[in-house]
């Protein structure tokens, strides 16, 4: 603290000003100065998660908005071990021809996968539900998206480790029926089995990789869908 002394009127003014500073906490630092050096503040700011500013992500967010999806853009994060959530969103619901589809239990997913998912949910899954099962979809039950892990039984990182994949377990119809991959791929009614196979084939036309019960036992209870990789596709 710097103290000022003086005599007479000027001294009293100085003393009054000093008293005001004391009552205010004796802080004469410029506003916003927290005592850290400029380099330290810049280091901290650069380490804080920020929304992606990549042009392709901004374009994707715009297109996802035009599709009338309900979503929240998420900050870019590096989680270590090769795991990232870059250019991701958290989806709340997707628009259909006449209403919307809820998405319980979904986590961060890249915008590009979210946009593909939105198109498939509307034009593939919901329309198939209306035509084959006689009811629109109320929600799609997912089994998550981002997960920092490798592909089971290998050392290769899963597409889930970069939020480039979604696992889908079941479909809830507006009339209350629940059609699940686990129960109805083999055990459902003829219409339910047809619905699941139609939307599986539909997903194969949009996503880069689609895996289901016919792939292996690890996918007996869900469809795994992941991003499009140029000149690469796999559907099983």
pLDDT tens digit at each of 236 positions of the chain:
333 334 444 444 444 433 443 334 433 334 445 455 665 554 444 456 788 888 999 999 999 999 999 999 999 999 999 999 999 999 999 999 999 999 988 999 999 999 999 999 999 999 999 999 999 999 999 999 999 999 888 889 999 999 999 999 999 999 999 999 999 999 999 999 999 999 999 999 999 999 999 999 999 999 999 998 766 789 99
Is residue 61 within 8 A of residue 111, CB to CB? The reply is: yes
pTM: 0.78
Pairing relationship of beta strands 234-235 and 209-211 according to DSSP bridges: parallel
Give the Å distances, CA to CA, from 226 to 11, 25, 161: 75, 56, 11
Contact 170/103 with Cβ under 8 angstroms? Answer: no
Helix pair 111-119, 55-66: axis angle to 10 deg: 30
Contact 163, 108 (CB under 8 A): yes
Residue 135 has a pLDDT of: 97
Residue 20, helix vs strand vs coil: helix
pLDDT at 19: 41
How far, rounded to the nearest angstrom, does the alpha carbon of residue 27 sit from its chain's CA centroid?
43
Beta carbons within 8 Å of 53's beta carbon, 6+ residues apart: none
Provide the CB-side half-sphere exposure for 236 (13 A, CA): 10
Question: 31, 32, 101: which is closest to 68 by C-alpha?
Answer: 101
- Alpha-carbon span 55 to 38, nearest angstrom: 29
pLDDT value for 35: 59
């Amino acid at each position: 603290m710097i103290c000022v002394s003086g005599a007479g009127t000027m001294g009293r003014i100085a003393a009054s000003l000093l008293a005001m500073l004391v009552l205010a906490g004796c802080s004469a630092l410029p506003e916003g100065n927290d005592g850290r050096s400029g380099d330290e503040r810049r280091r901290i700011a650069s380490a804080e998660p920020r929304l992606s500013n990549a042009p392709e992500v901004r374009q994707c967010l715009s297109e996802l908005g035009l599709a009338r999806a309900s979503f929240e853009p998420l900050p870019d994060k590096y989680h270590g071990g090769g795991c990232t959530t870059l250019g991701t969103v958290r989806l709340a619901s997707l628009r259909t021809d006449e209403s919307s589809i809820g998405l319980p239990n979904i986590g961060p997913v890249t915008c590009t996968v979210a946009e593909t998912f939105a198109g498939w949910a509307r034009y593939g899954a919901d329309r198939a539900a209306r035509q084959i099962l006689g009811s629109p979809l109320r929600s799609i039950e997912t089994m998550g998206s981002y997960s920092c892990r490798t592909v089971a039984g290998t050392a290769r990182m899963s597409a889930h480790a970069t939020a480039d994949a979604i696992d889908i377990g079941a479909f809830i119809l507006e009339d209350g029926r629940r059609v699940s991959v686990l129960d109805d791929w083999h055990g459902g009614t003829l219409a339910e089995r047809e619905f699941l196979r139609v939307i599986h084939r539909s997903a194969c036309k949009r996503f880069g990789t689609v895996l289901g019960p016919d792939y292996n036992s690890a996918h007996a209870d869900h469809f795994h869908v992941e991003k499009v990789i140029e000149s690469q596709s796999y559907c099983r």
